[in-house]
Amino acid sequence: MVPLTNKVLVVGAGFAGLIAARELRAAGSEVEIFEARDRIGGRAWTEQRMGYTLELGATWVHWMQPFVWSEIVRYGQTIYPSPEYERAYWLGGGVLHEGAEDDLDATLQRPQAKIFEGSAEFFPYPHDPLYVLSPDYAGPADVPGRFRAADQGSVLDALRDGTFSQEEIDVCDAYWAAGYNGDPATASPLMAKHWAALSDHRLSLLDEQTLKFKLTDGMRGLYEAIAADLRCPIHLSTPVSRVEHGQDGARITLEDGSVREADAVIVTVPIGALGQVEFAPELPRPMRRVVDERTNSTGFKIWIKIEGHHSFIATAPGQSPIAMTKSEYFLDDGTTILVGFGPDHTKINLQDTAQVQQILRQWRPDLTVVDCDGHDWCADPWSGETWATVKSGQFTDGWHHFHNTDSRLYFAGADFAKGWNGVVVDGAIEMGITAARRVLRELG
Ligand SMILES: Cc1cc2nc3c(=O)[nH]c(=O)nc-3n(C[C@H](O)[C@H](O)[C@H](O)COP(=O)(O)OP(=O)(O)OC[C@H]3O[C@@H](n4cnc5c(N)ncnc54)[C@H](O)[C@@H]3O)c2cc1C
């Protein structure tokens, strides 16, 4: 047994917290995890709903997401694809269009290429996303200025030069309302370009990385495998309300008023829930501002069960509560389960079949909704958001401030990742590893 050298407290038992704890424990640190919920996994949550095993949070993974793929291999997990779609429906320019999936993809090609413009020069190293602003950057002198400018405005601004049809603008509006899981009008254009750079600048690879391959045993198979490797206590239903941090150590206060002390604390709380934790000394102003502004993530994910087997994908811009929905499971009882995403969680009741039936009518009046369900992550006090996406201005002045702590307080969590920032489990694992290694380095 490795002798324990120092003590680290980890706040949160999502992927970032579990991985940080594993890394620290393997290096001989004493670790305790404090988790507000009565379960581990955080924004990954595999559950029985509507008679089927569903992912209420994270679903899709990919071998080009290096950190999560390494854990998938390590724990012997396997993947399988989401289905292809026989039909596609898209509302654009006030008209309902119908075709094959390839027809919808073809409509997206030209405007998405415009949205991705600059991805190669802005992100020569996609896992070092602010490289062009760093002293090491030696490329064209105008790139840093254009990079900062591209962080302003909306992801859809690129399409307002008069050369794109309303149909093209509307399919992109729907795509990014789902992708940013929030209003595209306030979404930083840089994030879309960063996603493109992480996907070899190809829309098809971006779609494949974010919407194609699922874990056979679900996210639960992965987070439970990691937790089974931990040799440290995980205190469930134990929210942390206060974090004190200094040069020599850290203290956390639990909701019942009890206090724990350690050499360091790693906080993996999502940005949307950080406002509930009191920090002493207070977080520096740039971090505080991000906590107050939050992210662009105000949306939802919904599961919808319909009568019959129907294989399709459908998108709608603007006013439609659901921006994108697609067939995901064809059940033996003759029903289909669709997954859907929309930008505003206040516009939908995730359990209201009548409302969802009404929304589906815009594409398919013949469909009958028998059930629907989901978890309202934005209303959930322990997340306050779905996957963290970047508001205008926050790509260059936001998440990265959380890397710059100068006490024994460290932040981990997908929301602060350099690679797949905010969006996927990959980023949570990246941060769990890098925060733990930083703690080990600094504690000696
Ligand atoms: C609807 C949805 C769909 C998604 N789809 C995908 C996908 O398809 N693929 C993918 O890879 N990713 C997806 N994601 C993103 C992915 O789930 C997250 O990026 C990842 O799980 C975040 O892990 P984390 O450890 O950083 O944060 P979290 O998982 O949020 O973990 C943080 C933990 O901290 C706890 N906590 C919060 N406040 C406190 C407190 N005060 N005291 C103690 N504990 C606290 C929380 O309860 C939580 O367990 C999706 C997310 C959502 C919500």
Q: What confidence tens digit (pLDDT) does each residue in 74-97 have?
A: 999 999 999 999 999 999 999 999
Q: Which atom of ligand 1 sits closest to the CA of residue 65? A: 11
Task: Indicate whether 286 belongs to any domain.
Answer: yes
Distance 220 CA to ligand 1 centre (A): 13
Q: Are 127 and 356 in contact (CB under 8 A)?
A: no
Indicate the pLDDT class of residue 276, thresholds 50, 70 and 90: very high
Distance 107 CA to ligand 1 centre (A): 33
Q: What angle do CA 177, 400, 425 make, to 5 degrees?
A: 55
Task: Indicate whether 140 belongs to any domain.
Answer: no
Residue 317 has pLDDT above 90, yes or no: yes
Residue 360 has pLDDT above 50, yes or no: yes
- What was the pLDDT predicted at 121? 98
- What was the pLDDT predicted at 230? 95
Please give the average per-residue pLDDT across 414-435, as a whole number: 97
Distance 39 CA to ligand 1 centre (A): 12
- Closest to 350 measured CA to CA, from 319, 392, 307, 321: 321
* Nearest CA owner, ligand 1 atom 15: 424
Q: Which atom of ligand 1 sits closest to the CA of residue 15? A: 25
- What was the pLDDT predicted at 350? 98
Residues 6+ apart with CB under 8 A from 58: 43, 44, 219, 387, 424, 425
Amino acid letter, 387: W
Task: Indicate whether 106 belongs to any domain.
Answer: no
Domain of residue 423, CATH code? 3.50.50.60
Check pocket membership of 276 for ligand 1, CB cut-off 6 A: yes
Check pocket membership of 177 for ligand 1, CB cut-off 6 A: no
Distance 164 CA to ligand 1 centre (A): 36
- Closest to 330 measured CA to CA, from 25, 139, 52, 74: 52
Task: Indicate whether 123 belongs to any domain.
Answer: no
Residue 316 has pLDDT above 80, yes or no: yes
- What was the pLDDT predicted at 220? 98
State which of 425, 426, 431, 434 you would mutate to test the pocket of ligand 1, scoring each by most atoms of that ligand within 8 A of its C-beta. Answer: 425
Amino acid letter, 10: V
Q: Domain of 247? A: 7-44+218-294+392-443
Q: Which atom of ligand 1 sits closest to the CA of residue 12? A: 34
Check pocket membership of 58 for ligand 1, CB cut-off 6 A: yes
Question: For 38-73, how does the pLDDT look when each residue is reduced to its tens digit (9 = 90+)?
Answer: 999 999 999 999 999 999 999 999 999 999 999 999
Alpha carbon of residue 199 to chain centroid:
16
Q: Is the dihedral of CA 136, 141, 142, 143 positive or negative?
A: negative
Question: For 106-145, how does the pLDDT look when each residue is reduced to its tens digit (9 = 90+)?
Answer: 999 999 999 999 999 999 999 999 999 999 999 999 999 9
Task: Indicate whether 396 belongs to any domain.
Answer: yes
Q: Which atom of ligand 1 sits closest to the CA of residue 385? A: 53
Check pocket membership of 323 for ligand 1, CB cut-off 6 A: no
- What was the pLDDT predicted at 178? 98
Percent of the chain residues topping a pLDDT of 90? 98
Check pocket membership of 21 for ligand 1, CB cut-off 6 A: no
Task: Indicate whether 369 belongs to any domain.
Answer: no
Distance 441 CA to ligand 1 centre (A): 26
- Closest to 341 measured CA to CA, from 41, 59, 84, 14: 59
Give the separation between CA 346 and CA 300, rounded to whole angstroms: 9
Check pocket membership of 428 for ligand 1, CB cut-off 6 A: yes
Task: Indicate whether 274 belongs to any domain.
Answer: yes
Q: How many domains does the chain have?
A: 1
Question: For 247-270, how does the pLDDT look when each residue is reduced to its tens digit (9 = 90+)?
Answer: 999 999 999 999 999 999 999 999
Check pocket membership of 252 for ligand 1, CB cut-off 6 A: no
* Nearest CA owner, ligand 1 atom 29: 42
Residue 2 or 443, more confident: 443
Residue 3 has pLDDT above 60, yes or no: no
Residue 31 has pLDDT above 70, yes or no: yes
Distance 12 CA to ligand 1 centre (A): 9
Task: Indicate whether 32 belongs to any domain.
Answer: yes
Residue 271 has pLDDT above 80, yes or no: yes
Check pocket membership of 12 for ligand 1, CB cut-off 6 A: yes
Indicate the pLDDT class of residue 444, thresholds 50, 70 and 90: confident
Give the separation between CA 420 and CA 262, rounded to whole angstroms: 30
Percent of the chain residues topping a pLDDT of 70? 99
Residue 4 has pLDDT above 80, yes or no: no
- What was the pLDDT predicted at 1? 43
Check pocket membership of 253 for ligand 1, CB cut-off 6 A: no
In 167-249, beta strands by DSSP E: 213-215, 234-235, 240-245
Give the separation between CA 232 and CA 225, rounded to whole angstroms: 14
Please give the average per-residue pLDDT across 295-311, as a whole number: 98
Please give the average per-residue pLDDT across 410-421, as a whole number: 97
